[in-house]
Amino acid sequence: MDLIEELAADDIVEFYEAVGSRPSGQFPAIAHARPMLSLDNTFSDEDVQDFVSSVYRFLGQLPDDSIAFTAEPKIDGLSMSLRYVNRKLVTAATRGDGTTGENVTANIRTIKEIPTELPADAPDVVEVRGEVYMAKSDFLALNAQMEAEGKQTYVNPRNTASGSLRQLDPKVTANRKLRFFAYAWGEMSQMPAETQWEMVQVFGRWGFPINPLTQRLTSVSAILDHYHEIGLQRPDLDYDIDGVVYKVDRLDLQARLGFRSRSPRWATAHKFPAEQAFTTVEAIDIQVGRTGALTPVARLKPITVGGVVVTNATLHNEDYIKGIGNSGDRIRPDDHDIRIGDTVIVQRAGDVIPQVLDVVLEKRPEDSAAYVFPKTCPVCGSHAVREKNEKTGKLDSVTRCTGGFVCRAQAVEHIKHFVSRNAFDIEGLGTKQVDFFFESDDPALMIRTAPDIFTLKARQDQSLTKLENIEGFGRVSVRKLFEAIDARREIALHRLIFALGIRHVGETTAKLLARSYGSYAAFAEAMQAAAPKFGNAWSELNSIEGIGEVVAASIVEFFKEPRNLEVVQRLLSEVTPLDAEAPVASNSPVAGKTVVFTGSLERFTRDEAKARAEGLGAKVAGSVSKKTDYVVAGPGAGSKLDKARELGVQVMTEDEWLTLIGG
């Protein structure tokens, strides 16, 4: 996905499948005791070698092939967390957004393969996680039954399993013959094993189905051999798989490796090559995204790829249509530009994202013409430009509308981003509702900027045009909408920062900024001070781990724009951003402190030291400033140690640091 993420920025959300999704509201929400994170993906043998090398590099000083990995088929189903208290099944929750899922306990109880009671030797609290799926044979039988009854058939086993599990009537779920494989866990009051392999075997003894193709391997060559062997078996399996998952076997090493923001360092999913098919480009449309990116989309003659009907595929940008990659190198031969009428090869990358790979020139119509990329925005008519990279001097691959909020497409997409799950998360303001309010010319209904959301009720109270009388709304839904809006008048700082829609600032970066500055006032003041792009405020912003110069420049540019400041001021008159909370208990001696590591570390690798410090609530910086609290200096410490002494920052040895944090 690296190429796709590079090319598409964040403006073609419709082509991406998120880690999970917001709970639908049909079922009660349920919070996970431990988050259900996604896995990083690998797509080549080289990627797997890099993953294994990164594990050894992080842990440091371990002999080659001394770390064992489990390799298990990646089931293409619906992730599930089963919670047992005193050995009885009490709740079953979907992944949802990873933090909160849907309570589908009643439906899960209809799956015969899932035990409702555990043996006497099981701990008091157990969360078993795995995949609910539908066997291929059961899917074919179900479709045959639907066809015989004159009903519409289903698309693929995965979607059918997901829909079956979300039936309001458990009897319907029971008739769908869903199945389950156990492979992971959440909260456990006591760990019954010390390795991944042993844990899964324990699940098997407790009565859960476990996958017989899982193996425990130590060398990269053995791991890859197993991957290719499973790939050969894939067509003959009675369940869909889309790759193989590798996990560090020893749980103590998993604990040392820890987690990134969205995924564990100790696991990765090695995806199978995407399935491909041939079809025709019937049209090329331009979509305008939240940040102004003009993204070309191929409208395709419907074709089934990997069990899913594909009608659209992203073409990324002007260069991609011409056969040029982000690096400026050719990714297709000179004459393989993509044109309307062309027969093309389409694949679902990672079995998710539809992508046009190449053109079949032999089938190109004689009267075809090269596609001319627009020089103006198709929505607002503003100039569309490719910005020049100040460092490389090359043009950016993405063409952007210069209209800003004048462009209706950018404005409406910004509002959709603002109310999205990881931003203000306003229930009842989905895509259709936002489009309705944005397109309305009635002053009592229109929402053209984010602050308008919070004045909607006041305008409604003074108007004769009542929302509840409009088709698609009703008294109850309107009341719930206003309640959902009012519930967001206080908002976590990182959510507010993310909701502003600053280019390059995703959820993770927003959390870094919130944690670093603590309050919105401090954040905004620092960004104003950093506007000249030199001085302490600029240096401090760039010193935040994970924020580079491009991101920093994008943030300060946002706060230099008067229109942005005006919208933010109106927003702050309606909502109160809450100061960022320390991520750990206040008894952590380094919570909220800034630490810099310099020189050689002997007890930890640098990555391990950083992960440990951040886990205790500290901020790890790359440079020393007046705001630095501690400098941990090992042998060979140089200029950072000198700077710390010059500024009077407390310097300590690695052993002193370990004593401070409790070993």
Q: Which residues pair with 287 in a beta bridge?
A: 295
Q: How far apart are CA 343 and CA 574, in angstroms?
A: 53
Enter the tokens of residue 335.
Answer: 């004459």
Q: How far apart are CA 295 and CA 314, in angstroms?
A: 7
DSSP type of residue 289: -
Could you identify the residue written with the tokens 């103590």?
252
Binding residues for Zn(2+): 377, 380, 407
| Cα separations in angstroms, 40 against 172, 324, 646 | 35, 27, 42
Enter the tokens of residue 216.
Answer: 């425990």
pLDDT confidence of residue 583: 52
Looking at CATH, the fold of the domain delimited by 405-488 is given as: DNA polymerase; domain 1 (1.10.150)
Beta-strand pair 353-359/343-349? antiparallel
Could you identify the residue written with the tokens 């130590």?
218
Residue 19, exposed/middle/buried by CB under 10 A (0-12, 13-18, 19+)? middle
Q: How far apart are CA 332 and CA 321, in angstroms?
A: 10
Beta-strand pair 594-598/619-620? parallel
Beta-strand pair 241-248/267-271? antiparallel
Enter the tokens of residue 516.
Answer: 């670093």
Question: CA 236, 240, 242, 245: dihedral to nearest 10 degrees?
Answer: -90
Closest CA to 381 of 401, 398, 361, 363: 401
Looking at CATH, the fold of the domain delimited by 492-578 is given as: DNA polymerase; domain 1 (1.10.150)
Segments of 38-156 assigned E as strands:
41-42, 69-75, 78-85, 88-94, 100-102, 125-133
User: DSSP labels for 324-353?
Assistant: B-TTSSBSS-TT----TT-EEEEEEETTTE
Binding residues for NAD(+): 38-39, 72, 95, 131, 247, 271
Contacts of 472 (CB under 8 A, 6+ apart): 432, 436
pLDDT confidence of residue 295: 96
- Extents of the domains making up the chain: 32-271, 274-402, 405-488, 492-578, 594-661
Q: Which residues pair with 161 in a beta bridge?
A: none
CATH number for region 274-402: 2.40.50.140
Looking at CATH, the fold of the domain delimited by 594-661 is given as: Rossmann fold (3.40.50)
Contacts of 369 (CB under 8 A, 6+ apart): 339
Q: How far apart are CA 556 and CA 405, in angstroms?
A: 18
Q: How far apart are CA 55 and CA 40, in angstroms?
A: 13
CATH of 32-271, one of 3.30.390.30, 2.40.50.140, 1.20.120.160, 3.30.470.30: 3.30.470.30
Q: How far apart are CA 656 and CA 646, in angstroms?
A: 21
Q: How far apart are CA 301 and CA 282, in angstroms?
A: 6
* Conformational region of residue 425, where left means phi above 0, alpha means psi within -120 to 50, and beta covers everything else: left
Q: Count CB-CB contacts under 10 A for residue 433.
A: 18
pLDDT confidence of residue 23: 44
DSSP type of residue 582: P
For 492, phi then psi, to 5°, come to -60, 140
User: DSSP labels for 163-179?
Assistant: HHHT-SSHHHHHTT--E
Contacts of 382 (CB under 8 A, 6+ apart): 376, 401, 402, 403, 406, 407
Q: Are 184 and 130 in contact (CB under 8 A)?
A: yes
Q: How far apart are CA 145 and CA 150, in angstroms?
A: 9
Active site amino acids: 74
Binding residues: 38-39, 72, 95, 131, 247, 271, 377, 380, 407
Q: Could you tell me the strand order of the sheet in which 630-633 lies?
A: 619-620, 594-598, 630-633, 650-652
pLDDT confidence of residue 391: 66
Contacts of 262 (CB under 8 A, 6+ apart): 19, 37, 38, 508
Mean pLDDT by 10 residues, the chain (663 residues): 32 31 64 92 93 92 86 96 97 91 94 96 96 94 89 84 87 92 96 97 98 96 96 91 96 92 91 89 96 95 81 94 90 93 85 83 94 96 85 84 88 95 91 94 94 96 90 91 96 96 90 91 93 88 84 92 91 95 65 86 79 82 84 84 88 88 78
For 288, phi then psi, to 5°, come to -110, 120
Q: Are 384 and 303 in contact (CB under 8 A)?
A: no
Same fold, 32-271 and 274-402: no
For 169, phi then psi, to 5°, come to -100, 110
Distance, C-alpha 50 to centroid of its chain? 21
Q: How far apart are CA 10 and CA 530, in angstroms?
A: 25
